[in-house]
Structure 1
Amino acid sequence: MKAMILLAALLWAGPVMAQTQLTIYNRNFATVKETRTLDLKKGENEVRVSDITAHLEPDSVILRDLKKADAIRILEQNYESDPLSEGLLLRKSEGKVLDFEITLPQTGEKKIVKGKILRSGYVPHTSAFRRYGQEYTLRQQVYSQPQGGGQPIVEVDGKIQFGLPGKAIFDALDPKAFLKPTLLWRLWTETGGKHEVEFSYLTGGMRWEATYNAVAPEKGDKFDLVGWITLENMSGKDFEQAKVKLMAGDVARARPEGPGVARAALAEEARAAVPGEVTQRAFEEYHLYTLPRPTTVLDREIKQVEFVRATGVPAKRLYVYDGFQWDQRWRGWDADSIRTRPEYGTQSNRKVWVMLEFQNAEKARLGMPLPQGKVKLYRRDLDGRNEFIGEDSIAHTPKDETLRLYLGNAFDIVGERRQTDFRLDKSKRWASESFEIKVRNHKKEAVEVRVVEHLYRWIQWDIPQKSMEFHKTDARTVEFRPTVAPGGEAVITYTVHYSW
């Protein structure tokens, strides 16, 4: 005779003994790993696991005996993922007679009418059939519409009617009814008794993200940075006193089927003296951030934990003028047209960007891998209040890399770019183009502006004439860096020669 066991999470043996571990990824999924005790008899056992998430991926389940890896075998696994609902009970009542409570509109009196369920019109919950692909999902959604098969048919007093005659009243539930997602295992073991096992699986409905707040003083561009980790649990399960790790990096997952498919030493001592910091370490090609202590993450809860704090981070303010404005009319044009059409690339953008550049390095009071996230920037005004001055996003950034934050467009600096000459000799396979760029500074202090020019017509180029020296930033981009006097104007001219 088979033994039926209800598998439940153990109570904590002590504050250090964490039984649940979560590794949350920033792509809306997580790994759940739990240590549990199974009391099994020798031979075949049936085990029912109901305290799982609502978005468990059944093909990711791993069950392992902690003392002997092959001591337990899963002979069969069934996953009941459809939540109990009126529709599901109607489906199980097809062919049966049910009581329906109706209210008479004239008197408000309630009465019971009996009806036989010929068709429930039930369609499984979306999560129950999404894994079978986009086409199946769409068909089920169409079927569930009233004009499809999603309308109940009930026989009342020998007549057929569409829709329920009233509120359905069901018999008491079977003790084995599934009130929430449940795993049913058929296990085999050669050794009876208690088994300490590790149970792990992947689940959707959990995510995390990093956000940053940077505050600069009234004057200067040094800033204080605070980074927050935000956890979001929409998995359908509470996790009590779980050890939480966060994986940062672009972890590959197979894409689902769809129509188009077949993120100073004293300072070190001070930080070491502060208990409970978030720690990080490299793992494979990614970075793991570990919360300092077990934490409770309730279902439908958003939890925030500080993971980085730095004061006096040195930064440099940059003004960048990129006068090239992409013309949507040229989308899809071939290389020959781009080389030979004089009007290509002549539209001008007048905005000058304001950027904040800093190093993610120990000498800059940082020096740890920073996960991708949004950065909100504030500056203190004369009253000492923080005023919001911009927001940008950073990608996953390793230690010792340079970051640039876009703060918006400068109000008092304006750029202007125009083509002054274009020459072409198709037979000798060359083109020559000249530009004039003007930058006007209406501020009360001098500013350096980085004027970016894209040499978009061809990869082979030379600049024989220029009004000032430039920096080559990549194979097809140069940068001029004029200093513009207060109330003044800088004029840059250059000629580029292309050959192919």
Structure 2
Amino acid sequence: MLIPRLPVLSLAQTMAAALLALLAISPSEAWARVKLITLPVRERVEIQLDNEQATLVEEERIVPLTKGENQVDFSWANTQVDPDSIVFRVLSGEEKDAPDVNVLAVSYPPNESALVWTLSASNAGSARVRISYILGNLNRSVNYRAVASNDETKLDLSQYLRIQNLANEEFGGAGVWAGFGPKFSKPIGLNETKELLVERFKSVPIEKTYACNPQEYDYLDRAQNKLRVPMHYVIKNDKEHGLGAAALPFGKVRIFIAGGGDDPQAGTAFLGEDWGKFTPRDDEMRLYLGVAQDVVVKRTIDKNEARRISGNLDDHELIVKYEIENFKKKPVRLDVTENLRHLRGEVRADNGRDVEWELGPATTFQDGPDSERSTAEQLTFHADLPAASPDGKAEKIVHKLHITLKNEW
């Protein structure tokens, strides 16, 4: 295939040709390209932070246009903008002589973090445009401060939004919405970290729980068969408890108690920190407080017998005994949980089958399993424990779980 040879131009001829091409551009075409990175300034900015993995930014600008075709540049050098997420819209003109504007084309200049929209305008004037995109490195997190009353029946819950701007861009007077709570209008500076109080919930009713579960919490002292008894504050996210307007986002919770524990005249004392899970409406957030040292639970297996039914099938009868002592000055309720698959694994090899079980008559827990917290493989019971006597002695409460594992092999 023959390729025609082009004439070789001298440097002077090349410069002359370039000058003629530049002069051929009309003044209106030369000024029709608008650089949004510097001009014009943002008229409005909205930042939406409801998704932890992506931040949505929406901005509006007033763009001067000439009659005919115009080019509008949008560039994001050194800024993590997802180019596939950029949406450009022309809003209806508010002024009487505002031009009718249509988007003709969009192009991506090679080797640039930019794109160019080609617009047509019916006449010269200004148009308001809206640009939205996903921006990286503009991060948010949620923190809580929980101050429990001295009697541990309610708490004040403050919810904070922390914004960290590492996006290499500043936003003056931006409207900020975290996906919950009210909207804010706050400037966000370059490389700035800002913390905002979103909501404060006063006197939220709580329940302090004590629980034991060998499968989840294990033993505190295996040699003496003493179970670990963790304590939690339980917050119900519903209207009855002063919450429930929206889900509670995942975040770190700093927990305090008013009056410093037993002394109501003392200052607020720090109890610890926990991570509050994402809590939908009508669900519970459980805040870990530590292990109770004054509620002692000793767990032993009193009966462990297998009865052959036929072939290699048998029923396995178990009685689990709990000896419980409460050394606290007030009565408490203990949640006793047994995972039946874990219990089976303690007395025989786990065959991987679902557990078939039958509750026996020797079970002593009043009211039987908690219907809301129990499942097909895990049972939760409640044990009410009296307060210790004035001399510090605790009454020993004994409960038994009588259960038969059916059709085992």
User: Which stretches in structure 1 are left out of the alignment for 5+ residues?
Assistant: 13-17, 82-181, 249-277, 280-289, 328-345
Counterpart residue type for residue 85 of structure 2? S
Counterpart Cα distance in 2 of 1:215 and 1:75? 55
Counterpart for residue 20 of structure 2: none
Shift of 1:35: 1.0
Partner Cα separation in structure 1 for residue 39 and residue 243 of structure 2: 40
State the Cα distance separating 1:202 from its structure 2 match.
0.7
Query: C-alpha deviations, 1:53-72, integer Å up to 9, x for none?
Result: 71101111111111399701
2:192 to 276, 301, 307: 301
In the alignment, structure 2 segments of 5+ residues that lack a partner are: 1-24, 94-99, 345-353, 389-393
1:434 to 314, 319, 326: 319
Once the two structures are superposed, residues 75-129 of structure 1 have per-residue CA deviations (whole angstroms, 9 ceiling, x without a partner) of 3123756xxxxxxxxxxxxxxxxxxxxxxxxxxxxxxxxxxxxxxxxxxxxxxxx
Letter in 2 for 1:476: E
In the alignment, does 2:165 pair up with 1:233? yes
Structure 1 residues 187 and 347, CA gap change in structure 2 (3 angstroms):
farther
Alpha carbons 2:324, 2:397 under 8 Å: kept = yes
Change (3 A) 1:227 1:192: same
| Stretch of structure 1 that moved more, 473-482 or 234-243 | 473-482
- Distance in 2 between residues matched to 1:195 and 1:185, nearest whole Å: 16
The number of residues matched between the two structures is 337
- Of residues 351, 363, 382, the one that matches 2:228 is 351
The range that moved more, 221-230 or 468-477, is: 468-477
Supply the distance in 2 between the matched residues of 1:58 and 1:405 (Cα, whole angstroms): 41
Distance across 1 between alignment mates of 2:276 and 2:142: 10
Distance of 1:70 and 1:188 partners within structure 2: 7
Q: For the Cα contact (< 8 Å) 1:209–1:373, is it kept in 2?
A: yes
Looking at structure 2, the residues matched to 80 and 386 of structure 1 have their Cα atoms a distance apart, in angstroms, of 59
Tell me what 1:414 maps to: 296
The reply to whether residue 480 of structure 1 matches residue 371 of structure 2 is: no
Residue in structure 2 matching 1:460, options 339, 350, 356 = 356
Larger radius of gyration: 2
Q: Counterpart in 2 of 1:387?
A: 269
d(CA) in 1 for partners of 2:87, 2:294: 62
Distance 1:34 1:79, change over 3 A: farther
Cα deviation code 1:237-281 (max 9, x no counterpart): 000111112236xxxxxxxxxxxxxxxxxxxxxxxxxxxxx43xx
- Distance in 2 (CA, whole Å) between partners of 1:229 and 1:23 is 12
CA root-mean-square deviation: 3.1
Q: Taking structure 1 as reference, are residues 198 and 53 closer, same or farther at Cα in structure 2, changes over 3 Å only?
A: farther
Distance 1:227-1:186 versus aligned 2 partners, 3 A rule: closer
* Contact 2:101/2:121 (8 A) holds in 1: no
2-side partners of 1:347 and 1:431: how far apart? 25
Alpha-carbon shift at residue 429 of structure 1 (Å): 4.5
Q: 1:325 to 1:61 in 2, by over 3 A?
A: closer
* Residue number among 369, 372, 389 corresponding to 1:471 in the alignment: 369
The farther-off stretch of 217-226 and 394-403 is 394-403
Q: Cα offset for 1:352?
A: 0.5
Cα–Cα, structure 1 residues 195 and 384, in superposed 2: closer, same or farther, change >3 Å? same
Give the counterpart of 1:493 among 400, 404, 408.
400
Amino acid at match of 1:394: G
Task: Give aligned-pair identity as a percent.
Answer: 24
Q: How far off its partner does 1:192 sit?
A: 5.1
* Change over 3 Å in CA distance of 1:373–1:80 after alignment to 2: farther
Matches within 5 A, 1:271-286: 278-279=181-182
Residues in 2 aligned to 1:50 and 1:347: alpha-carbon distance in whole angstroms: 69
Alpha carbons 1:51, 1:237 under 8 Å: kept: no
Q: Structure 1 counterpart of 2:377, which letter?
A: R
Counterpart mapping for 1:84-483 below 5 A: 182-189=113-120, 191=122, 193=124, 194-247=126-179, 278-279=181-182, 290-291=183-184, 294-324=185-215, 350-369=227-246, 370-380=248-258, 381=260, 382=263, 383-424=265-306, 425=308, 427-456=312-341, 457=344, 458-464=354-360, 465-469=362-366, 470-472=368-370, 473-483=374-384
From 6, 10, 34, the counterpart of 1:5 = 34
| TM-score in terms of structure 1 length | 0.61
Change in Cα spacing, 1:325 to 1:364, as seen in structure 2 (3 Å) is closer
SS of aligned partner of 1:314? strand
Normalised to the residue count of structure 2, the TM-score between the two structures is 0.73
Q: Partner residue of 1:74?
A: 105
Moved more, 228-237 or 421-430: 421-430
Change (3 A) 1:227 1:67: same
Change (3 A) 1:51 1:422: same
Query: Which secondary structure state, in structure 2, belongs to the residue aligned with residue 59 of structure 1?
Result: helix
8 Å Cα contact 2:161-2:178 kept in structure 1: no
Q: Is the 8 A contact 1:417 1:436 kept in 2?
A: yes
